[in-house]
Structure 1
Amino acid sequence: MGPVDIRTTRYDAPDAVRLNDLVQLEYVQRYGDGDLTHMDAAHFEPPHGLYLLIYDTDGTPVASGGWRSRGASPEGFQDGDAEIKRMFVVAQARGQGLARRLLAELEASATAAGRTRMVLETGLKQPEAIGLYESCGYLPVPKFGYYRHDELSVCLGKDLKPAPVADAAGR
């Protein structure tokens, strides 16, 4: 994987909307319907969230993903959670490590924002997504969110480790 151009954007920016439309089409193909989870651009505003796009060398957006802060709720979230949403790589850019790179950026930014656990919901009809997350240290967690009662839902999580703090001598 060569250098990539990762940019912070708004969830409702035109390029983000274009990729969101593509991921929704993929959900329809795999599950028969798009993701009905309530989403709002304000959910991804720093420091309570972040939305990123990856652009190829031609300036075309090829991957997206974001996280939003979550607190303890009846939907199964815990205080300190950062929920990953809309991780997606366009078909022609898959297999280049872009999702892994994007995930690392999301984890680092959530950690820097004080989040303690990264969580996500995917589905059994997305085995490549499950494989990516498991290979990055994500483990099954109790189901949460809109699809927590759906038999196809898979919820995964990973504890976020704060960056070590240097002492006065810079060690």
Structure 2
Amino acid sequence: MSHEEFIHTLPGDPRARPLVEQLSHEYESRYGELFRQAGESAGQEMARYPDVLFTPAEGGLFVLLLRDGVAVAGGAFKRHPDARTAEVKRVWTDRLLRRQGLARRLLVELEVQALRQGYRRLFLTTGFRQPEAVELYLRQGYTALFAPDADLEALRSLPFEKVLSPALTSTPSPAFAESSLR
């Protein structure tokens, strides 16, 4: 039987590297020509946010779901300009382990931790070429902040929000691996 646990760490944690590399590759394969048209790259997008934004001291958090010590899913949130809102970033599941509910579990962990840090609302955006992410967020109770019949390619960035329920914090959460914050 596999052992799974959430740890709170930083994007630069070596255990996160395979997931971050997969996400970067996915961004390139789905949006590469758009990045190039804008004079950017998937690598620049991945480096857009410094690790410090994902530390509790700065109002953020980076979470990995480990299975037998190997990262199988990850994601983060950072402080949004509104002090009661956190912005979810980089939710990702190992491409070989999709359709197991890992992203949903990770999202719930991010919601619980955001509440514990005093947030009452989550905001996020996903790309127009990520229908599986749109489906996940809608199934998890996020509200689309765009018209469903809009030209998604013209929008490019699809915003969502969720008002958090304090009942989430009564859900037991795995131990906080504080020592992994470097």
The TM-score bracket by the shorter chain reads 0.7 to 0.9
Residue 96 of structure 2 is matched in structure 1 by 92
| Kept in 2: contact 1:53–1:65 (CA 8 A) | yes
AA paired with 1:128?
E
- What's the offset of the Cα at 1:151? 2.2
Q: Which amino acid is the alignment partner of residue 52 of structure 2?
A: A
Name the CA distance, whole Å, in 1 between partners of 2:71 and 2:168. 33
Letter in 2 for 1:24: S
Confirm or deny that 1:7 pairs with 2:7. Answer: yes
Deviation at 1:3, TM superposition (A): 5.8
Structure that is richer in helix per residue: 2
Structure 1: 5+ residue stretches without partners: 72-77, 143-149, 166-171
Query: Structure 1's 164 and 70: CA in aligned 2 closer, same or farther, altered over 3 A?
Result: closer
Q: Distance in 2 between matches of 1:151 and 1:141?
A: 11
Give 1:27 deviation, angstroms.
0.8
Select 2:118's aligned residue among 96, 114, 119: 114
Per the normalisation by structure 1, the TM-score is 0.79
| 1:54 pairs with one of 51, 54, 65 | 65
SS of the residue corresponding to residue 36 of structure 1 reads helix
Give 2:64's aligned amino acid: L
Whether 1:124 aligns to 2:133 is no
1:133 maps onto 2:143 in alignment: no
Q: Contact 1:68–1:82 (CA<8 Å) still a contact in 2?
A: yes
Which of 1 and 2 has higher RCO (CA within 8 Å, sep 6+)? Answer: 2
Aligned 8 A contact 1:9 1:16 in 2: no
1:82 alignment partner, SS class: strand
More displaced 10-residue stretch of structure 1: 13-22 or 38-47: 13-22
> Secondary structure of the equivalent of 1:65?
strand
1:112-156 Cα offsets, whole Å, 9 max, x none, are 1111210111012100010000000111237xxxxxxx6221010
Q: Which runs of 4+ in 1 moved over 3 A?
A: none
Counterpart Cα distance in 1 of 2:145 and 2:167 = 23
- Which whole-Å CA distance do the structure 2 matches of 1:6 and 1:27 have between them? 25
Asked if the contact 2:111–2:168 (Cα under 8 Å) also holds between the matched residues in 1, the reply is no
CA deviation after TM superposition for structure 1 residue 11, in Å: 1.8
1:156 aligns with 2:160: yes
Deviation, structure 1 residue 164: 9.0
Q: Which amino acid aligns with 2:18?
A: R
Q: Is the 8 A contact 1:82 1:117 kept in 2?
A: yes
SS at the partner of 2:107?
A: helix
- The residue that corresponds to 2:45 in the other structure is 36
Alignment RMSD: 2.3
